[in-house]
Structures are given as structure tokens and as C-alpha cells.
Amino acid sequence: MIDIIAIDGPAGSGKSTVAELLARRLGYAYIDTGAMYRALTLKAMREGLDLRDEEKIARLSMETKLDIVPDALGGISVMLDNEDVASLIRTPELTENVSCIAKVAAVRQRMKDIQRSIGARGKAVFEGRDIATVVFPKSRFKFYIDADFNERVNRRYRELISKGVDISREDVDRDLKIRDHKDITRKIGPLKVADGAIVIDTTRMTIDEVADRLQGYITACF
């Protein structure tokens, strides 16, 4: 699994930004697996489904076509039934609901199958919550990106404010605690450090410094 770089970590750790930067540096595809769960959540909300009905959510996942396609600028198109929904899946309401979708065992199995299919294309940086533990446990390059909780709150707060979201730092703090708890205690594919993964604390590091660290580990192995 030399062509797959697996990056896990909690919200606000910087893993998405560093994964995208690393992918550009290496000429690899950047795969944001969390966007796939968000896209399925969007579809469920559009159809007015009861997000607590795991049977219906599981059936929906099997009937849905999902893909992540790199664009010409180094970003991604999030394809939901052939519609690019990348600009529609970051709303606060959707963020609140995505955990209902992500905890369904059948959904996680479906996502794992799709992600492995994408990985079969080769040369990709995958980031998410269970990439190194479940999706690509045999990947040669496994990383866990973390940061101090307060720093993660600050990063997420700045990100949301920059996007025009009307939210307080206290709200971000509360939401992140809830999200961490759900990610860590989830029965299927919980967030944890994979065996053999390199843990990097990004609290006092810039994104370029983190990317340098990862790239250094990778190039040293070739």
C-alpha cells in the first residue's frame, strides 16, 4: 500500500489542510473521506428521512453513488449521484446531523468499500477518522494528527468566522467536545491511533511545518 497515505485525527487538528497540502506536494489525489459522510447526510436531509432510522439510512447508502474527484486546482469535487455538492456540505445544520449517519455500521461498511475502490486508483492521501485503523490498516504510511484541545477550538472558531458563520467560541468549544466524544466512543470505526502510526502534535506547528514532517518521513522510506 505504498501509494496510499493514511491520515487520521480529531476535528481542528489540521489534518484536512495538511493532507491537501501534502497531496499537492506529492502530486497525489487528496481524498477527504468525511465529505462522503456529509454528502450522504445531505441526501438524507433532502429526502426528509428520519436520521435515527438506521435501516432506512443503510438502504439509502446502498442506493447512492459517491465519489471524490480531484479538481484542476488541487481541491476536490464531492460527487453525490453525479452532482458536485462540495459547496453544500459544510452548513452547521448538516454538521450537527452527520454523526447520525456516520455511526451506522452498514454505512461505514459501504464507505469503506467505496474508499478502497478509490484507493485502488493509486497515489492518494486519505484523511478521516478510521483510515489507518479500518480502511487501509496495511498502508505503509500511517499518521495521526492531533493538537491541544484549546488550540483545536481556536482553529475551528477562526475557520468558521472566516466563512461568515455566526458562532461564538463557547459554541465551538461545546460542539467540539460533543464531536470528540461521539468519534471516540463510536462502536464502529472509533477514532484512535492505529498500530504503527506516527503521532504528530501540531499545537505549535504551522501547516507547512507539519507537511514538511510528514513528507520527510515519506521520502526517507524511498
- pLDDT digits (tens), the chain, 222 positions: 568 999 999 999 999 999 999 999 999 999 999 999 999 999 999 999 999 999 999 999 999 999 999 877 767 899 999 999 999 998 888 988 999 999 999 999 999 999 999 999 999 999 999 999 999 999 999 999 999 999 999 999 998 899 888 899 999 999 999 999 999 998 888 999 999 999 999 999 999 999 999 999 998 886
CA distances from 106 to 58, 68, 95, 169, 192 (A): 5, 20, 20, 35, 20
Q: Which pLDDT score is estimated for 92?
A: 83
Q: Which pLDDT score is estimated for 222?
A: 66
CB 35 within 8 A of CB 76: yes
Q: Which pLDDT score is estimated for 136?
A: 97
Q: Which pLDDT score is estimated for 220?
A: 86
How many whole angstroms separate alpha carbon 59 and alpha carbon 52? Answer: 13
pTM of structure: 0.92
- In sequence order, the β-bridge partners of residue 68 are 78
Q: Which pLDDT score is estimated for 75?
A: 77
Domain boundaries, the chain: 4-212
Taking domain 4-212, whether its CATH number is 3.30.470.20 is answered by no
Q: Which pLDDT score is estimated for 71?
A: 78
